[in-house]
Amino acid sequence: MKRDLTCVACPLGCPITVEYTDTEIISVTGNTCKRGEAYAKTEITNPTRSLTSSVKVCGGVLPVVPVKSDKPVPKDMLFDCMKEINSVCVKAPVKIGQVIIENILGTGANIVATNND
């Protein structure tokens, strides 16, 4: 099989072609750095994404606080993670870096506040 990607590992946006089978990566071409090769292999075998959103704040100055995952989560779990995030109302006060949801859905990623409420 063959898949064309645009690398997002750095600002260059290299066009990458990955040839692969069901069990292995055969070749990665088009990347100009090692990060591109690593990105392409991950995108084919286990795609992940950083997750950014907001969480409701109960009793705070603002109604929501922005949050992000502290590491990428599996791409196929993004919608389930968003359902979990949307079900939470964190109690004020909220501080930058505060863990809002620990190990969301068993992914190993924490959802942390990126601002104060």
Question: What is the structure's pLDDT at 83?
Answer: 98
**What are the tokens at 37?**
């090769």
Q: What is the pLDDT of residue 117?
A: 86
Is 53 buried (19+), middle (13-18) or exposed (0-12) by CB count in 10 A? middle
Closest by CA position to 25, among listed 8, 52, 5, 3: 3
User: Could you tell me the residue ranges of all domains in the chain?
Assistant: 2-45, 52-113
Segment 28-80, tens digit of pLDDT: 999 999 999 999 999 999 999 999 999 999 999 899 999 999 999 999 999 99
Question: Is 3.40.630.10 the CATH number for 52-113?
Answer: no
